[in-house]
A and B are shown apart, each in its own frame.
Chain A
Amino acid sequence: MTNTQNDAAFVEFERVQKSYDGENLVVKDLNLAMPKGEFLTMLGPSGSGKTTCLMMLAGFETATHGEIRLDGVSINHIPPHKRGIGMVFQNYALFPHMTVAENLSFPLEVRKIGKSDREEKVMRALGMVQMQDFAGRRPTQLSGGQQQRIALARALVFEPELVLMDEPLGALDKQLRETLQFEITNLAHELGITVVYVTHDQTEALTMSDRVAVFDDGRIQQLAPPDELYEAPQNSFVAQFIGENNTLEGVVQEIKGNTCIVKLDSGDIIDAIPVNVSAVGDRTKVSIRPERVEFDKNRLQDGAHTLKAEVLEFIYMGDIFRTRLRVAGTDDFVIKSRNAPDQTRLTPGQQIEIGWLAEDCRALDA
């Protein structure tokens, strides 16, 4: 280890751009630094350039511009097989003509590791994913989840320090996905490896990662730990993309310190914290999480602004109630309330007043 500092960047993207066709930039100005041992997830809609970033890191695509460094060394011109990066592919990419054990010993063979060492490492890696009994099987004789485990073991068996995973759980059902999410994070922490994980499932991103990079339009829109991402989105894309979100549009009327007053297009006035607005008169999208909306007057702060709302729909979802309201001219304002004994059940047609704490309501870019 050349880096003595704990938070020194292990993986670094510096001003990286990528274009496939010379006309469109798929990745625009990517800057990213990851410390060793971090579990970082790239999250974003389809076509936002996540796989492209991963491929550049793995060496299968070359950056059009900029530098990618691994452990302080530029790897732009190092071929993939010399980068020593483990990779788990979305479709597993297990070699169908080899058994599970042969698949696992492949990276060891090309590294010219002796037979007995190889066997031991293979069994150890299979042990990590609880698949020792399947060593002699062909990949086609395994279920999707089992194949995924083997793909993971294969990416880990040669003890890489960095492992890339491109939507590894995309093809699995929900329950299996959750089990494997847990196993992957556990393994990553146990082994102390650095992981770059790609997904477009936000729950997966939030539950697994140390930090999440939200991609859109070839840029990282926000790079933050899951809680910060959810609670303090930096722009309206992130607010929309992560979790359920209510958006109201309006104009900034007044900014005082870390709160501001927004006049909605319907004429209503609300409180918010200015996040992505700079001056009075800016158009803004105001974002409020459904579970932070209050309709019980007693729980609201004195002097908080409230809005009139009409209940359109009440949906019973077991652990929570989901109520759709008409608020300030929009029909898709949603609130969520916990199913507790003292919780009120709203009925369609009912007229209520809703409000929120100013710090839960963020004025973002329009």
Chain B
Amino acid sequence: MTDTAQSGPVLAADGRPLKASLNRALRRQKMRAMLLIAPLLFFILITFVVPIGQMLFRSVENQIVSDTLPRTTQMLGDWDASTGAAPDTPVFAALTKDLMVAVEKKQHTRLGSRLNYETTGVSSLFRKTGRKVDDMGEGYTDQFVDLDPKWEDPVFWADLMADPAASALPMTQDAYAAFADTIISEDGDDPREEQPWHTVYLSLYQDLSAGADVGSLPAEVATAQTAAVTFQTEDLIAAFADIDEDWLSVDTWQTIQTYSPAFTNGYFLNAVDRQKTPDGSEWRPEDQQIYLTLFVRTMIMSLTITFSCILLGYPVAWLLANLPMRQANLLMILVLLPFWTSLLVRTSAWKVLLQQQGVINEIVVWLGLVADDNRLALINNATGTVIAMTHILLPFMILPLYSVMKTIPPSYLRAAKSLGATNWTAFWRVYFPQSVPGIGAGSILVFILSIGYYITPEIVGGTKGVFISNRIAYHISSSLNWGLAAALGAILLVVVLLLYWAYDRIVGIDNVKLGG
């Protein structure tokens, strides 16, 4: 080397460091490539990443409680369930106001269903209460109107609330605003033509009794404040208890309090058979624990299915790769045939074959292998699911295996034999290791597909052969507990990713080939 003195980086022709020049050149190339794929990338982002993100979000999202019962959840903040007593009147007053709005907006039933996932009975409690809530506080309305008919006048109310000094009556203002908003948005009515709800009078009574400074407000207010002292109070707690005893139960209130925050781990706890308690979580009662069992069963059965697919698929793929063209094509059609028939038809066919009076049982009984009164239970259990799913997923094992085997030249086997290996040794030491990437690819496909399968287990699985995905489907389409479904789905996703990671660590993901 003549230029050993030049110790710095290698320079390009224009004097810039070569590395920077190269990077610049490559960057332009990369940018162009990015632009080309940008529409597709965008599409994938929208159709793939966003739904998954949505699902993950749904599994922790819990705004419905605090959105529907904003005042109640705020008031409940100080309530301590461990005292064993239901909350006081102000909480019930807040609940009245919240429910009034919710009922008008028809949101209380949704909230009821949501909380019903956690404590059964809440749904009907909310529905029942919803029907009666508009009478609550009526006593106060009557007393105010008796005192001065002006309190009946919508225009008087509207003007009063528009007065800047009305800020002295915060609860009233809040209740009136809720009333005005709701009737405008729900019924298209004008607040200046409608008498306010009883909850507004209830709030006014609360404000006045709390000793609000009403000096700068119209005289009617001051008069009312003086009179209010003598008003007959209405027992809200009794009114609620009258609708349903459950309103006195600590459990009901505890549920509302526990699920007040906007985000919750409740769905996830539920998905692993635990439940939320005021201080952390605990196992659900034995008879309600189903999900962990289902997860474990899903994993074990998916593995079983994967292994049976390997066992059955390997020889078929080998034949496919080694038979003469004509026979191989015929066999390939047979392998692909299942794809051309409906999944439902294939699964139902298995039902016919496997049932107690089905073809297979008839044959084994006829052969005398099992007694007539002791027929094999092949369906509506795990066996049925494994048999039917293995059949349905077999092509997903065969095809990657085939495409990998196709690339293994026969000369390897010949070489092994010429070196002195028996047929078995040549297969096991030379052919098999080279087909492992195909097994890997097929297994990943089959395993992931079977973990998420639900139609077949639903039809042939009975109760003992259903997968976690069947529960997810149930929560999505029947119980409508999407949060729980999302949490179960998220856990499934994490488990699959973990397995994938483990596979990568043990076998190596570059050891997966779908072909050439």
Contacts and interface: CB of A to CB of B under 8 A. Distances in A.
Contact of A93 (B414, B420, B423, B429): B414
Interface in B400-437: 409, 411-412, 414-423, 425-426, 429-430, 433-434
B411 A91 contact: yes
Contact of B420 (A91, A110, A164): A110
B508 to A, nearest CB: 12
Contacts of B426: 81
B419 A110 contact: yes
B289 to A, nearest CB: 46
Interface string B450-475: 00000000000000000000000000
B415 A81 contact: no
Contacts of B415: 87, 89, 93, 95
B408 to A, nearest CB: 9
Contacts of A87: 414-415, 418-419
Determine the main DSSP class of B at the interface with A.
helix
A80 B417 contact: yes
A107 B419 contact: yes
A25 to B, nearest CB: 21
User: Looking at B411, B418, B434, which has the most chain A CB atoms within 10 Å of its CB?
Assistant: B418
A191 to B, nearest CB: 17
A107 B420 contact: yes
A106 interface: yes
Contacts of B411: 89, 91, 93
A155 B429 CA distance: 17
Interface residues of A, number: 26
Given A81-B421, A91-B411, A106 B416 contact: yes
Contacts of A111: 420
A89 B430 CA distance: 16
Contacts of A106: 416, 419, 421, 429
A95 B425 CA distance: 13
Nearest to B418: A87
Interface string A63-86: 000000000000000011111111
Contacts of B418: 58, 80-81, 83, 85-87, 155, 164
A316 interface: no
Contact of A95 (B412, B417, B423): B412
A79 B416 CA distance: 13
A84 B421 CA distance: 10
Nearest to B421: A110
Interface in A125-147: none
Interface string A20-61: 000000000000000000000000000000000000001110
B419 A154 contact: yes
A60 B414 contact: yes
Contacts of B434: 95-97
Contacts of B412: 93, 95
A83 B421 CA distance: 11
Nearest to B436: A97
Contacts of A84: 420
A208 to B, nearest CB: 21
Contacts of A97: 433-434
Contacts of A96: 434
B420 A95 contact: no
A133 to B, nearest CB: 23
A158 B429 CA distance: 18
B420 A158 contact: yes
A95 B419 CA distance: 12
Contacts of B420: 81-82, 84, 107, 110-111, 158
A70 to B, nearest CB: 14
B139 to A, nearest CB: 87
A164 B411 CA distance: 14
Contacts of B414: 58, 60, 80, 87, 89, 93
A89 B418 CA distance: 10
A300 B179 CA distance: 130
Contacts of A93: 409, 411-412, 414-415
Contacts of B421: 81, 106-107, 110
A96 B426 CA distance: 14
Given A91-B409, A91-B411, A81 B417 contact: yes
Interface string A87-101: 101010101110000
Contacts of B430: 95
Contacts of A164: 418
A91 B408 CA distance: 12
A93 B422 CA distance: 17
Given A89-B411, A89-B414, A93-B414, A81 B422 contact: yes
B516 to A, nearest CB: 14
A86 to B, nearest CB: 7
A80 B425 CA distance: 13
A15 to B, nearest CB: 25
B405 to A, nearest CB: 14
A89 B417 CA distance: 12
Contacts of A158: 419-420
Q: Identify the interface centre among B415, B422, B430: most chain A CB within 10 Å of its CB.
A: B415
Contacts of A80: 414, 417-418
Contacts of A154: 419
B511 to A, nearest CB: 10
B418 to A, nearest CB: 4
A84 B417 CA distance: 10
Interface centre among B411, B419, B425, B429 (most CB of A within 10 A): B419
A337 B423 CA distance: 57
A53 to B, nearest CB: 15
Nearest to A104: B419
Contacts of A110: 419-422, 425
B268 to A, nearest CB: 43
Which of B414, B420, B426, B429 has the most chain A CB atoms inside 10 A of its CB?
A: B420
A79 B414 CA distance: 11
Contacts of B416: 95, 106
Contacts of A60: 414, 417
| Most chain B beta-carbon neighbours within 10 Å: one of A58, A59, A60, A155 | A60
A87 B418 CA distance: 6
Contacts of B433: 97
Contacts of A89: 411, 414-415
List the 3 closest pairs (A to B, CB-CB), nearest first: A107-B419, A93-B415, A87-B418
5 contacts: A80-B414, A93-B415, A107-B420, A111-B420, A155-B418
Interface of B: 409, 411-412, 414-423, 425-426, 429-430, 433-434
Interface of A: 58-60, 79-87, 89, 91, 93, 95-97, 106-107, 110-111, 154-155, 158, 164
Given A81-B419, A106-B419, 12 more contacts: A58-B418, A80-B418, A81-B418, A81-B426, A85-B418, A93-B411, A95-B434, A96-B434, A97-B433, A110-B422, A111-B420, A155-B419
